[in-house]
Amino acid sequence: MMSVPIRIGVLKLADSAPVIMARQKGIFARYGLETEIVVSPSWANIADGLAWNRLDAAVLFAPLALMTMLGRRGHDTVLHPLSRISRGGNTIMLRGVNPVKGVWKSGAEGREIFDIWQAAIGRKPRIAVVHIYSTHLLILRRFLKMIDVDMDREVEILVMPPTDMISAFSEKEIDGCCVGAPWGMEAEQIGLAFCVGGSSTVLPDHLEKMLVVSDALFRSADTARRMFSAMQESLSFCRMPEHREEIAEILALPLSEGGLTLPREATFRILPGGTVQETLGFAGGEVQFPDIKWIINDMAALGWLDHDECGNLVFWTDSPDARLLHAHAPSL
C-alpha cells in the first residue's frame, strides 16, 4: 500500500461523481486506497498538478490530457488513461429566443435558424467554452459544421469557467456556450439560455472524461489495479438511476463535507435516469482507441497534432494489462 494518499484532481462538475462517491461510500478505503480529492479551480491547475507531480490522478478530458502529455502547455509529462469515466453530457446553450422548438436540425434548415437567431442577437456570436483543449470545443465545432457555420470565421470563441458563464449570459457578455453537466441545465433552469444541441445530437455517447494517472502511479501496478477496480465499482453505483437522488444530494454539499457545491436540482435532472435532452452517462472499463479516435482526428484537423503525433497516440490506449506487462518487462 502507498504510504502517502493518492491525490486525485477534480473540477466542480457532475463528471466528478464517481470519484466523489468512491470516497463517500468508502469504496476507495475498501480497496485499501488512501485518497485526497483536490477540487481544482481551473483545468490549468489540473494540468500543472500532473506536470509538476502535485497530482497523481485526475478526471480529465482527452484533448487536455494529450496536450499536457505532449508538452504543449508546460513541460511534457507521461500520463496514462486508467479508466473511462463519463459519456456525453455537453450542452450547446444560446441566449435570447429559440426560433424553433427544441434542438436545431442539421444542414440548411439549421443554418436558417442560426441566421434568424444571429439577426436577433445583432452581432458575431460570442461563444464560450471551458478550455480550448476540451471536448466541448470539438463538439461545438462539429455542431457548427453540421449547420454549415464556420467556427473560425463566423463565431468568436471565448474561454471562461462554467460558473462565470452564468453571469456572462445574464450580462450579455456571451451569446452561447458549450459546457459540461450540470451547468447547461442550470443556465436553462434560471431562464438564461436554451439548448440547441450537444453531445446527443452531435456524437451520441462520445467519451467525455477519463481517469488519467501519472506514470508513477501507473507503474505502481498493484495500486493502479486497485484504483481501476474501485473506480469500476463506483461507476456501477453512479450508473444506477435509483442512486440519482443520493448522488445529487452529495454533489450539492459544501467542499468541507466532501461535496462540490453543485446546483442540486440541475444535477439531479442530468444524472443517469434523468429525461432531459442531454443526460450524463457513466462509462466503465478501460479507455479503448475507438473512444479517442474522433478526438485525435479532430485535434489533427485543428492543427494541434501532426501526423507523427497521431501515429504515436494509437498506442496510448493499449490495454492496461498489456502496458503493465511492458512496465514490468525491464525487471524480468
Partner 1 sequence: MNDVDRSRASLKVLVADANPKRGQALSQTLRADTSLEVLTVPAGMALIDAVQLHGPDVVLVDMERADRDALDSIRALSRSAQERPVALFVDEDDVELMETAFDTGICSYNVLEALPQDVKPLLRTAIALYGRFRRARDELAEAQRALAERRIIEQAKRFFMENEKTGEVQAHRWFQRRAMQTSRKLAVVAQEYLAAQKKGDA
What residues line the site for partner 1 (CB under 8 A)?
41-45, 47-49, 52-54, 73-75, 130-133, 151-152, 156-161, 163-164, 302, 304
CB atoms closer than 10 angstroms to residue 286: 18
The rounded distance, in Å, linking the Cα atoms of 243 and 166 is 28
Nearer to partner 1, 113 or 158 (CB): 158
Q: What is the 8-class DSSP label of residue 195?
A: E
* Residue 197 dihedral angles phi and psi, to the nearest 5°: 165, -170
Nearer to partner 1, 14 or 287 (CB): 14
Dihedral of alpha carbons 300, 301, 307, 313, sign: positive
CB of 59 to partner 1, least distance (A): 16
Nearer to partner 1, 132 or 221 (CB): 132
The rounded distance, in Å, linking the Cα atoms of 311 and 78 is 17
Nearer to partner 1, 224 or 262 (CB): 262
Nearer to partner 1, 161 or 320 (CB): 161
CB of 18 to partner 1, least distance (A): 23
Question: Got the DSSP string for 44-84?
Answer: HHHHHHHHTTS-SEEEEEHHHHHHHHTTTTSS---EEEEEE
Nearer to partner 1, 82 or 130 (CB): 130
The rounded distance, in Å, linking the Cα atoms of 45 and 39 is 10
CB of 216 to partner 1, least distance (A): 15
CB of 52 to partner 1, least distance (A): 5
- Report helix, strand or coil for 231: helix
Q: Would you put residue 2 in left (φ > 0), alpha (ψ -120 to 50) or beta? A: beta
CB atoms closer than 10 angstroms to residue 296: 21
CB of 140 to partner 1, least distance (A): 12
Nearer to partner 1, 121 or 159 (CB): 159
C-alpha cell at 267: 444535477
The rounded distance, in Å, linking the Cα atoms of 66 and 61 is 9
The rounded distance, in Å, linking the Cα atoms of 131 and 199 is 17
CB of 47 to partner 1, least distance (A): 8
CB of 276 to partner 1, least distance (A): 26
The rounded distance, in Å, linking the Cα atoms of 118 and 13 is 30
Q: Using an 8 Å Cβ cutoff, are 64 and 32 in contact?
A: no
